C-alpha cells in the first residue's frame, strides 16, 4: 500500500505515458494553460456550485512521488527511467487561479486555470477533476436542498450510502452549502463541522420495550435529546416519549411513512401534550423536491441522506480539464460537438444596480487581451490560489465560503432558484474570442 | 487530521450516542445479530453483485480508536468519559459471515451477518454500509457492462468523475467485474490490477501538428501503442497514424461522435491501409446499453468512464444494517412498509441439475432452526469471514472472486442477463419464519 497522504497515484496511467513521450521530444517544457470548465449543467439545473477548491489545494501540495510510489510505477512498467527520475523531483511550481468555493458557476465558467509546463500541469488533471467533479456535484444538490428548506435546519446523514472517504467530503460540502450539521464524525474531527445524532431503530429494538429505550437515552443524553418514535406505532411512541422526557423533550424524529401527514399529526399531539417546544425531525429518502413539498408542514429539521451523497440525480459535475494554450497560442480540439474554446480565459459577473446577477462574461485574458470594462456592481470571479507553486496566503476558509454561497444565491434572478429544469439562471457570454 | 489508516471515525455520530446510552443501562452487553440486506434491486435490475467484502474486513481490522480519534471525540463532546474509556479498548471480537465478493445477491439475501455484543457490533454499521453500498453499486453496473461486452475487452477510466478515493475502489471493483484494466495507478499499485493508458487530446494539441504528436508517442511507446485519432479529422488522423506507426500500429482510439459508424469506417480504412491487426478502441459516454448496441460493430476495446463510477444510474446499492436478534430473540421494526424479517438468517441457492439457478432460499438459522435440505446442485451462499474478531485464513482473493462472478453469471436463467428492467433473475423464498 502506498502512502495514503500522497495524492500522486490518484492519477490516470495516460498522464504518465504522455509525460514520458513529451519528455523525450522536449515538448514537456512548453508553457501551457489548462482550464477546468463544464459544457452544461446536469439535468437542466439553473446554477452550479463550486466545491472542493480547498481539497484541490491540499492535493496539489501533496502531489509528490515518494519512494514507494516510484517503486510501484517501476514495477508495473508505467514509465521509463528518465520519467521516473523526473518524477522523483516533481513539485508543481506554476500558478493556479480559480473560482472560490461556494461561488456559483455556469456553462463555460473558467472554474480553474492551471498554468505551468505541460509536464507539471498535465499530471494534476485526474486528481483535480476527481475532487471538483465530486464535490461540486454534491454542492449543487446540497445547495438546492438548503434553498428548498427555506431557513429550516438540515442535517446531513448520508455517509452510509457512499464510499467512506467520499462521505467525509460530502459532509464538508453539505456544511458549505448551508446544512447545519452532519452525522459524519470524521468530518467533525477534520474540519470542525458540527456533528449530530441520537439513536437508530436498533437502539429501541435492543431494549425490552420502547419506554426502556427512551428512558435509557434520556438518562444518558438529557431531555433535550431527539427520540425516534416510529419503531412501532408513532402515536404511542410520541405519548411514551413525552411521558419519559417530559414537555422539555428536545425533538421527535420520524423516519418513514407519509411524513407530511405524520408531521402534522405529531405537531398536534405534541401540542396537546404540552410539548409545544418539542421539535419535529423528518428523515427518510428526502431530496430537494420532498423538502420543498413539506414547506407547509410543521417540520423543524430535515435529515437528508442518500440523495445528498449521490448528487440528487447528478453524481458528477461533468467538468473537464482542457489544454487551452501552448506557448501563448490558443489551442482547441475541433473534430466534434465536444468543441472547446481555445485560449486562457477569465470571467466577469455583471450585475444590475440592485445586485441581481445579469450575465457571466467569459473573456480571453493574458498578453494582448484587455479585460472588459467592469461597472461598480460587477466583479471578476477568479481569484489567485497558487503562485509559483505556493498556496496564496489567507485564502477564505469554510465559514467565509459558506457565507459567500449564501450571498451568491441572493444575487440570482428569482427564476434561478427554481428547482425545475430549465435554462441557466444567467447566460454565459463569450467576449474577445 | 486524524490517522487516515484508522476507520473508527467513518462513523455516524448516533452510533456513539447509542453506545453511551447502552453502556449506562447495561444493554450494551446484549448479544446481537445485525444483518445486511437490501429490500429491492435498484432500477429493476435482475441481480446484485457483492462488492467490497475484502475492504470491509480491512475496515473492521483497522477500526480502533487511537489517541487522536479519542481527543477529537472528547473535544467535540460526542460521548461521555465512560464511553471514551470503553472505546480506548475497542476491538471487534465477534463473528461475521457473508456472501463472498463476486457472488450474486437478490432482495432479502443476507449479504452480511455480524454477531457480537450490541456495543461491538453497532459501531461498525456506518463503515460497513459505506463500503458495501458503494462497491456493490459499482459492481452491478460494471458486471452489466462486462456482460454486454460479450467477451470484448473493457478498460475502466472513470477516476476523474468521482471522489479520488472512491476512484480506487471503483477500479478494483471493475476488475472484479470482468474489466481487463483500469486507468487508475493507485489501484494498480495497491491491488496489482493491470493499468492502461496512452494519451489524451491535450498531447496532440501540445504538438505543432498531429503527426509530430503521433511520432513522439510511437518513439516513446513503440508502434504497439494506441493513437487517439479524433482531435481534428478522424480519417486524416487514421491515415497519419498508420503512416507514422506502420501497419503494426496497436490501436486507434475514437472518443467522440457517432462511434458505431465511426468504428465501421475506421475498420474499413485501417484494413485498406493494410493495418488489419490494428485494434479499435471506443470511449466517450459508454454505458451498458451503448456497449450492447455496438455489438455488431468492429469494436475491439471499450473505454468506460462516468457511467461505471456512478453505478450507471444506481450509485448506491440500498443495503441496510438491521438488528435482527437480541439475546436469541428475533426483533424487527414494524411501523411501516419498511418492515424487516426478524431473526438471524442464512441462504441456500437452489439450482436445476443443469446448474441453472432456481431460487434464493433465505432461512432462519441458529439454535432451534434446521437448515433446509440441500440437493446435490444447491449450495449455501454465506461463508465465515471473521471468527472471534479474527479474519478467517485463506479467504479467496480478487482473482478467485473474479472467476466466481463469471461462473455465477453463467448459472443465471437467460432472462436474468437482460439489461432491461424487470423482476429479479430468481425469486427469494423465505423459509422457517
For A364-373, the pLDDT digits (tens) are 998 889 999 9
Whether residues A165 and B163 touch (CB distance < 8 A) is answered with: yes
* pLDDT tens by residue, chain B, 433 residues: 344 578 999 999 999 999 999 999 999 999 999 999 999 999 899 999 999 999 999 999 999 999 999 999 999 899 999 999 999 999 999 999 999 999 999 999 999 999 999 999 999 999 999 999 999 999 999 999 999 999 999 999 999 999 999 999 999 999 999 999 999 999 999 999 999 999 999 999 999 999 999 999 999 999 999 999 999 999 999 999 999 999 999 999 999 889 999 999 999 999 999 999 999 999 999 999 999 999 999 999 999 999 999 999 999 999 999 999 999 999 998 765 555 689 999 999 999 999 999 999 999 998 889 999 999 999 999 999 999 999 999 999 999 999 999 999 999 999 999 999 999 999 999 997 5
* A416: pLDDT strictly greater than 90: yes
The whole-number pLDDT of residue B334 equals 79
The whole-number pLDDT of residue A4 equals 56
> Is CATH 3.20.20.70 the right assignment for the domain spanning A150-312?
yes
- Residue whose grid cell is 429491492: B40
B271/B25 Cα distance (integer angstroms): 78
B97/B413 Cα distance (integer angstroms): 27
How does DSSP classify residue A12? B
Length of chain A: 433
Question: DSSP assignment of A371-391, as one string?
Answer: PPP--TT-EE--EEEEETTEE
Pair type for strands B112-117 and B95-98: antiparallel
| pTM of the complete model beyond 0.90 | yes
Non-local (6+) Cβ contacts of A352 within 8 A are A358, A377
Lateral strand order in the sheet of A251-254: A181-182, A153-156, A301-304, A279-283, A251-254, A226-228
The whole-number pLDDT of residue B366 equals 87
CA distances from residue B404 to B31, B50, B103, B143, B409 in whole angstroms, order as listed: 33, 11, 7, 12, 9
Task: Closest CB to B130: pick one of A162, A219, A234.
Answer: A162
Q: What is the CA radius of gyration of chain A?
A: 25
Report H helices in A152-305: 164-176, 185-191, 201-206, 210-221, 234-245, 259-272, 288-293
A341/A330 Cα distance (integer angstroms): 8
Non-local (6+) Cβ contacts of A255 within 8 A are A201, A228, A230, A283, A284, A303
* A337: pLDDT strictly greater than 80: no
Q: Which cell goes with B338?
A: 419498511
Q: Which CATH fold topology does A13-138+314-431 show?
A: nicotinate phosphoribosyltransferase (3.20.140)
CA distances from residue B354 to B357, B377, B411 in whole angstroms, order as listed: 9, 8, 9
Helix or strand (DSSP H, E) at A31: strand A31-38
Pair type for strands A390-391 and A383-387: antiparallel
A193/A215 Cα distance (integer angstroms): 29
Task: Closest CB to A232: pick one of B14, B212, B334.
Answer: B334
The whole-number pLDDT of residue B268 equals 98
The whole-number pLDDT of residue B6 equals 86
* A1: pLDDT strictly greater than 50: no
The whole-number pLDDT of residue B333 equals 86
Whether residues B129 and A160 touch (CB distance < 8 A) is answered with: yes
Pair type for strands A357-364 and A345-351: antiparallel
Length of chain B: 433
Residues of B in contact with A310 (CB under 8 A): 310, 315-316
A149/A156 Cα distance (integer angstroms): 13
B58/B37 Cα distance (integer angstroms): 20
Q: Which cell goes with A336?
A: 466534434
* A94: pLDDT strictly greater than 70: yes
% helix / strand / coil in chain A, to the nearest 5? Answer: 40, 20, 40
A42/B273 Cα distance (integer angstroms): 41
Across A53-65, average pLDDT? 97
Find which of A61, A179, A205 to mutate to test the B interface (most B CBs within 10 Å of its CB). Answer: A205
Across A187-205, average pLDDT? 96
Residues of B in contact with A15 (CB under 8 A): 197, 200
Find which of A84, A179, A206 to mutate to test the B interface (most B CBs within 10 Å of its CB). Answer: A206
Among A38, A131, A123, CA closest to A320: A38
Domain spans in chain A, listed from the N-terminal domain onward = 13-138+314-431, 150-312
Q: Which CATH fold topology does B150-313 show?
A: TIM Barrel (3.20.20)
Among A383, A337, A418, A388, CA closest to A91: A388
Q: Which CATH fold topology does B13-138+316-431 show?
A: nicotinate phosphoribosyltransferase (3.20.140)
> What is the residue-averaged pLDDT of chain A?
95
* A119: pLDDT strictly greater than 60: yes
- The answer to whether residues A174 and A186 touch, using CB atoms and an 8 Å cutoff, is no
Find which of B164, B191, B212 to mutate to test the A interface (most A CBs within 10 Å of its CB). Answer: B164
What does residue A76 show for φ and ψ, rounded to 5 degrees?
Answer: -85, 5
How big is the CA angle at A419 (ends A415 and A423), to the nearest 5 degrees?
Answer: 55
- The answer to whether residues A146 and A374 touch, using CB atoms and an 8 Å cutoff, is no
Interface of A with B in 287-346 (CB under 8 A): 306, 309-311, 315-316, 321-323, 326, 331-338
Question: DSSP assignment of B333-376, as one string?
Answer: --SSTT----S-EEEEEEE-TTS-EEEEEEEE-STT-PPPP--T
Q: The complex's ipTM?
A: 0.96
Residues of B in contact with A315 (CB under 8 A): 162, 310, 315
Q: How far is CA A134 from the centre of its chain?
A: 7
Amino acid at each position: 500500500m502506498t502512502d495514503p497522504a500522497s495524492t500522486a497515484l490518484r492519477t490516470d496511467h495516460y498522464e504518465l505515458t504522455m509525460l514520458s513521450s513529451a519528455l523525450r521530444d522536449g515538448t514537456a517544457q512548453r508553457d501551457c494553460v489548462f482550464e477546468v470548465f463544464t459544457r452544461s449543467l446536469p439535468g437542466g439545473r439553473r446554477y452550479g456550485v463550486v466545491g472542493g477548491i480547498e481539497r484541490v489545494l491540499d492535493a496539489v501540495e501533496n502531489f509528490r512521488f515518494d519512494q514507494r510510489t516510484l517503486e510501484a510505477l517501476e514495477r508495473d512498467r508505467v514509465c521509463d527511467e528518465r520519467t521516473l527520475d523526473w518524477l522523483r523531483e516533481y513539485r508543481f511550481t506554476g500558478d493556479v487561479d480559480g473560482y472560490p468555493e461556494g461561488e456559483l458557476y455556469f456553462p463555460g465558467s473558467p472554474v480553474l486555470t492551471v498554468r505551468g509546463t505541460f509536464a507539471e500541469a498535465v499530471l494534476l488533471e485526474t486528481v483535480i477533476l476527481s475532487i471538483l467533479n465530486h464535490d461540486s456535484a454534491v454542492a449543487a444538490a446540497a445547495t438546492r436542498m438548503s434553498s428548498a428548506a427555506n431557513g429550516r435546519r438540515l442535517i446531513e446523514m448520508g455517509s452510509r450510502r457512499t464510499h467512506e472517504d467520499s462521505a467525509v467530503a460530502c459532509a464538508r460540502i453539505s456544511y458549505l452549502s448551508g446544512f447545519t450539521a452532519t452525522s459524519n464524525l470524521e468530518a467533525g474531527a477534520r474540519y470542525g463541522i458540527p456533528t449530530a445524532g441520537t439513536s437508530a431503530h436498533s437502539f429501541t429494538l435492543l431494549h425490552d420495550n420502547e419506554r426502556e429505550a427512551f428512558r435509557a437515552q434520556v438518562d444518558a443524553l438529557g431531555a433535550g435529546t431527539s427520540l425516534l418514535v416510529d419503531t412501532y406505532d408513532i402515536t404511542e411512541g410520541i405519548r411514551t416519549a413525552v411521558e419519559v422526557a417530559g414537555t422539555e423533550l428536545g425533538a421527535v424524529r420520524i423516519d418513514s411513512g407519509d411524513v407530511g401527514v405524520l408531521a402534522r399529526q405529531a405537531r398536534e399531539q405534541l401540542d396537546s401534550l404540552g410539548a409545544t417546544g418539542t421539535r419535529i425531525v423528518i428523515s427518510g429518502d428526502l431530496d430537494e423536491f420532498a423538502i420543498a413539498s413539506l414547506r407547509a408542514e410543521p417540520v423543524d429539521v430535515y435529515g437528508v441522506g442518500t440523495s445528498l451523497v449521490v448528487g440528487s440525480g447528478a453524481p458528477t459535475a461533468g467538468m473537464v480539464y482542457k489544454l487551452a494554450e501552448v506557448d501563448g497560442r490558443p489551442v482547441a480540439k475541433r473534430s466534434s460537438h465536444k468543441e472547446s474554446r481555445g485560449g486562457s480565459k477569465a470571467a466577469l459577473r455583471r450585475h444590475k444596480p440592485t445586485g441581481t446577477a445579469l450575465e457571466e462574461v467569459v473573456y480571453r485574458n493574458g498578453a494582448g487581451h484587455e479585460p472588459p470594462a467592469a461597472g461598480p456592481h460587477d466583479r471578476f470571479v477568479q481569484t489567485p490560489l497558487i503562485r509559483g507553486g505556493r498556496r496564496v496566503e489567507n485564502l477564505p476558509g469554510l465559514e467565509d465560503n459558506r457565507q459567500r454561497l449564501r450571498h451568491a444565491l441572493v444575487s440570482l434572478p428569482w427564476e434561478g432558484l427554481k428547482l425545475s429544469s430549465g435554462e441557466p439562471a444567467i447566460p454565459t457570454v463569450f467576449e474577445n474570442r
